[in-house]
């Protein structure tokens, strides 16, 4: 199991008291958090002679669950999806930059989940230290917001959807020094910052009615109102809200807790889950 790369299903079978035991519940929760799909045991006559919940589900029912998963796993076959991930770095000089704490985990989980469902993925990634997930994923590595903007404008016209998960720097130094700024000769310095292009808004301005555009909103306060305002301002179809006030959400964590809001007004909040499972929830709701 530990070295299995395929999707894993577990259909537990045990006596009713063992199934009810808190340690079993904890272990099943751990498996679920790791992305395993549990096929709940049925109620009925058990090998011990007792009757209750613990009978392995009927093989025909197990096959149905797996078939349903296989149908869903091909749900994005033939689709082309652009995903942005990670931070951008805005250079001050050859050794320093302005950046943020994005690790790329959320964006890479989205790219991996889209590919697992059969999509052809273009992953435009800022500087992160993550491997490309398995599947049909073409990674374009960029450093700055300007480079990410150029790559997204080039790739978006051929796409069915774009998921803008990158934490793009809103400002860049107006001037990048060609040589290392020296403390001894420069003394106190003032950095003049100029706004970067808004990549999601640029795609929102050119998207066709067939293309879906999904943005993220990372907030620290007034979360819902700010997310709604970004959804409208950038002409998105959906926005995924995560808050830095939530201890299980945000930069670098293995988990996230999101609310997805549609331009139609529909919205859904999900509990904290691993970023892989959050990616699956986002894709189920939006694509
Ligand atoms: O990478 P991890 O460590 O896993 O962390 C995940 C995450 C917290 C980075 C991710 O879940 C997330 O919230 N990503 C968006 C972060 C962000 O920049 O949010 P924002 O509210 O500032 O931007 C709103 C939207 O506009 C985002 O879709 C962003 O990609 C986009 N944007 C922002 C600025 C800009 N100049 N161009 C953009 O396209």
pLDDT tens across 194-238, in order?
999 999 999 999 999 999 999 999 999 999 999 999 999 999 999
22 falls in which pLDDT band (50, 70, 90)?
A: very high
Cα separation of 105 and 98, whole Å? 20
Q: Tokens standing for 184?
A: 């001894």
Cα separation of 280 and 287, whole Å? 10
Cα separation of 196 and 42, whole Å? 56
- Tell me the pTM: 0.85
Q: What percent of the chain has pLDDT over 90?
A: 85
Q: Which residues line ligand 1 (CB under 6 A)?
A: 84, 102-107, 145, 164-168, 170, 196, 198-200, 215-218, 230, 242, 250-252
What is the rounded average pLDDT of the residues 167-195? 94
pLDDT of residue 65: 87
Which among 27, 91, 100, 256 is annotated as catalytic?
100
> Active-site residue 100, yes or no?
yes
Helices 145-155 and 199-206, axial angle in degrees (round to 10): 20
């Amino acid at each position: 199991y530990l070295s299995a790369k395929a999707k894993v299903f577990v259909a537990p079978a045990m006596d009713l008291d063992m199934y009810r035991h808190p340690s079993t519940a904890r272990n099943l929760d751990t498996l679920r958090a790791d992305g395993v799909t549990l096929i709940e045991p049925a109620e009925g006559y058990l090998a011990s002679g007792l009757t209750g919940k613990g009978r392995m589900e009927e093989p025909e029912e197990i096959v149905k669950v797996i078939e349903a998963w296989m149908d869903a796993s091909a749900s994005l076959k033939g689709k082309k999806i652009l995903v942005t991930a990670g931070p951008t770095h805005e250079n001050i000089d050859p050794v320093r930059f302005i950046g943020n704490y994005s690790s790329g985990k959320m964006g890479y989980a989205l790219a991996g989940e889209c590919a697992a469902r059969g999509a052809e993925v273009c992953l435009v990634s800022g500087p992160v230290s993550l491997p490309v997930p398995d599947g049909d994923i073409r990674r374009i590595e960029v450093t700055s917001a300007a480079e990410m903007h150029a790559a997204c404008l080039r790739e978006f016209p051929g796409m069915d959807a774009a998921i803008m998960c990158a934490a793009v720097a809103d400002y860049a130094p107006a001037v990048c020094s060609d040589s290392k700024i020296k403390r001894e000769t420069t003394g106190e310095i003032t950095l003049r910052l100029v706004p970067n292009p808004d990549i999601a808004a640029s795609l929102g301005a050119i998207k066709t009615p067939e293309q879906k555009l999904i943005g993220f909103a990372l907030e620290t306060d007034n979360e819902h109102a700010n997310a709604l305002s970004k959804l409208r301002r950038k002409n998105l179809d959906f926005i995924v809200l995560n808050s830095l006030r939530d201890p299980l959400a945000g930069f670098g964590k293995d988990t996230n807790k999101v609310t997805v809001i549609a331009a139609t007004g529909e919205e859904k909040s999900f509990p904290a889950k691993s970023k892989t499972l959050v990616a699956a929830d986002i894709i189920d709701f939006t694509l």
